[in-house]
Structure 1
Amino acid sequence: MDPYDLIVIGSGTAAQVAIGKVRAAGWSVAVIDHRPFGGTCALRGCDPKKMLVSGEEAIDAAARMTGRGVDGALTIDWPALMAFKRTLTGPIPAKQERHYAGLGVDSFHGVARFTAPDMVEVDGQALKARHVLIATGARPAPLRIPGEALVSTSDDFLEFRTLPRRIALIGGGYVAAEFSHLAARAGAQVTILQRPDRLLPRFDPDLVGWLMPRFRTLGIAVETAATVTRVERSEGGLTVHALRRGEPDISVAADLVIHAAGRGPDVEALDLAAGEVAAEDGRLKLNEHLQSTSNPRVFAAGDAAGVGPPLTPVSSHDAKVVAANLLHGLSHRPDYRGVPSVVFTVPPIAAVGLSEETARRDGLKVRINAASTPDWFTARRLGEPVYGHKVLIDERSDLILGAHLVGPNADEVINLFGLAIRHGLTATDLRSTMFAYPTGASDIGYML
């Protein structure tokens, strides 16, 4: 049996980038996935979600401009919006398979598992490898509560052809915030049950606070400091039970309960022990080159690696690092400076670089410019009541250390702050830049 130069387990962003690099160098490659080819971002995550967000953006824009020159109510047609989403996702798996065939890559469908340090089996077929890339993405973390089998995933939500009337979300991060906004604007009654004391704990608390009125105006019930204890069937649907210390039990009636309580590397099915791939608490043990510490043939990238932020650009970056290490020797390391993160609520909230909490904990001398500014032109012209920023600047070097934005264009403007952080631009550099006016970017000078 001739070994493949590289076997890639998974077919998402990291897999696609790594395969393109090594095939260009003439390596023989096999790719394996037990789900349709394309990966989470293209089929079950970022891209289809953003297609649906387009619908709520239109609804929200019309609502904000009502009485300001716009007349007439709009509603979301959920089945039609989902059909619009499928115009993107439907063709992807076949297109991806054709792409791999054109590259000369051998494709396999099924669950992959190690049978030896250099052997992978898929549907009873043994494949030998010089190297293996684990790019399996992430899966919902176990809830470990009674009734967990009754809880749907974000994947399920993105496939519902009709929208359930009552929706409960367990967790209060990206998925809960984004899906609650979308479902509420589409007419659902939505409840979020979050264990920590506030939503979006990875984002600046001041900016999250400025965004929270949007949840209230949408009628989204937010239960924080609430630990979900069980989910059970009840007459007419499901009931979610939760505890809040010192208060009566919480019970929420729902037609759909969604897992939004975090994800972890999807490596459980791989039989890592047979491959001599070390892991701890469900996470691969990797060195600084994204290489297994116990089996040097094996590398990982993206959410499966679990090293950088769980974002699509990180998956692509990791794959480039792995490919460079495979092709040119172990001299490349990932660099996660200036990676922006966005929650696509309407309006969005975004962050890049250091938080205020981290800067103060580390004793950094920083200048912090922060303000809620719904009276600025960018917000006023859109009738948007939520707009604000917090920017951290090093007092000695004038470098941008962190930026936190909420409101119109936050998802785009955050990239300019990411550029500054990654490439060492100072606040003076940004202030001296002439941005097109009036645009969201033209507000940057006033944020500094």
Structure 2
Amino acid sequence: MAHKRKTLAGFQTGAAAMFKSLGIDIIYGRGRIEDEHTVSVDGQTYSTKNIVIGTGARNAKLNIPGKELTKGSTEFLDLDRLPEHMIVIGAGVIGMEFASMALLAGKKVTFFEYADRPLLAYPEKYVQVIVDKFESQGAAFHFEQAVSSVEEVEGGLRVSTKDGTRAVGDFVLDATGRVLNIENIGLEELGIEASPRGIKVDNHMRTSVPTIYASGDIVDKTIPKLTPTAEFESNYIGRDILNPQGPEIHYPVIPNLVFTLPRIGQVGVTIAQAKAKPDKYKLVEIPWGKQKDWVNNHELDSELALIFDNESYLVGAGAISSQVGAWLDWLAPVIEKRMTAKDLNSLIMSFPTQTYMLWSTLAALLKTE
């Protein structure tokens, strides 16, 4: 925590100084859009040519008795000491990632999840590896359970479900999702269409008011809502403001990771999509940890799946490994640029590395010309 606070403090002061050096003013306060060219902040109005909404999201709270006793990701990441027994409501990305930290530190974790398994958007085979590991570390999972209340009792906080299942811990993490920060910022008065899914934008990231853009978590899109996605959108918006007649936004394939230990990730066409359309995709599953152990840090349970189309171009990948981020970042341009074996064989990789093994494995499977 000392390292985290020191690091974040550096980011905060450094970013403010950088903005100032670039001629960017930071106005602290609650902003509200008054019209297509005006923003008010605590009674002061500011005129502008364009407005970009990037207000992000916050922790959701289950609307149940005792919800004030639950904590969100922000509070968890500011703890001075880990709880001895953490109860997690929701086995999605945040719940699983934070549980991974607590379990590695020797703490107890109990999950209550409404669905029948964790991480529904990720490969079930890989998710099961994480579940098995968590259980071996002392985690307990209660699936298909709807939490009905949280209450203070002797010994801590008791979480109860509608069917009577209970657990008592000393910290309850509500990891049931995120809520968009779009209330009371002036959208309704301007007729800007928004819903719990986000603000509707066109292919130039503009709202229904052409001078007002939106970026990041608050946008109503099906693409992964991630930090690099928001950065990509914001960079595009900057270019579009300078050149309104420029091209529409085009998203490349986006690597999507879960930072459990080990990590799970996917990019492009998913394993589930490939299995659902065997006439369209070829799925090559590689027990990477067993086959490449000599260069894989003895991570025997790591696996890699490569997905090809009917022309043998790489169109997707999924993996479980502590190194999955580097793998997918390396594979993403192969997918996006539709690289062939000839393209890969024009390169030289460092040896012996995992990326070398990816290169040599993939070159033998890709379209040749």
**Same fold (TM > 0.5):** yes
1:414-433, aligned counterparts within 5 Å? 414-426=328-340, 429-430=343-344
Pairs aligned (count): 361
Cα 1:148–1:332 change in 2 (3 A) is: farther
The one-letter code sitting in structure 1 at the alignment partner of 2:30 is V
Among 87, 112, 118, which residue is 1:193 paired with? 112
* 2:104 aligned with 1:213: no
Cα 1:234–1:159 change in 2 (3 A) is: same
State the distance in 1 between where 2:243 and 2:199 align. Answer: 23
Structure 1, unaligned stretches of length 5 or more?
Answer: 1-81
What secondary structure does 1:90 align onto?
A: helix
- Matching residue of 1:394: 309
State the distance in 2 between where 1:380 and 1:428 align. Answer: 25
Q: Contact 1:351–1:404 (CA<8 Å) still a contact in 2?
A: yes
State the distance in 1 between where 2:351 and 2:324 align. Answer: 16
1:338-357, aligned counterparts within 5 Å? 338-357=253-272
Structure 2, unaligned stretches of length 5 or more?
Answer: none
- Matching residue of 1:292: 207
1:16-415, aligned counterparts within 5 Å? 82-243=1-162, 248-281=163-196, 283-293=198-208, 295-307=209-221, 308-361=223-276, 365-378=280-293, 382-395=297-310, 397-415=311-329
**Post-superposition offset of 1:434:** 4.7
TM-score relative to the length of structure 1: 0.75
State the distance in 2 between where 1:377 and 1:282 align. Answer: 42
Q: Contact 1:117–1:276 (CA<8 Å) still a contact in 2?
A: no
TM-score relative to the length of structure 2: 0.90
What secondary structure does 1:374 align onto?
A: helix
Q: Contact 1:370–1:391 (CA<8 Å) still a contact in 2?
A: yes
What secondary structure does 1:325 align onto?
A: helix
Q: Contact 1:228–1:240 (CA<8 Å) still a contact in 2?
A: yes
Superposition CA RMSD, Å: 2.3
**Post-superposition offset of 1:249:** 2.5
State the distance in 2 between where 1:104 and 1:189 align. Answer: 49
Cα 1:250–1:336 change in 2 (3 A) is: farther
State the distance in 2 between where 1:194 and 1:117 align. Answer: 43
What secondary structure does 1:222 align onto?
A: strand
State the distance in 2 between where 1:282 and 1:315 align. Answer: 16
**Post-superposition offset of 1:362:** 5.8
Cα 1:423–1:169 change in 2 (3 A) is: same
Cα 1:113–1:267 change in 2 (3 A) is: same
Q: Contact 2:305–2:317 (CA<8 Å) still a contact in 1?
A: yes
Q: Contact 1:393–1:427 (CA<8 Å) still a contact in 2?
A: no
- Matching residue of 1:19: none
**Post-superposition offset of 1:280:** 2.4
Cα 1:124–1:378 change in 2 (3 A) is: farther
State the distance in 2 between where 1:403 and 1:432 align. Answer: 22
Cα 1:228–1:364 change in 2 (3 A) is: farther
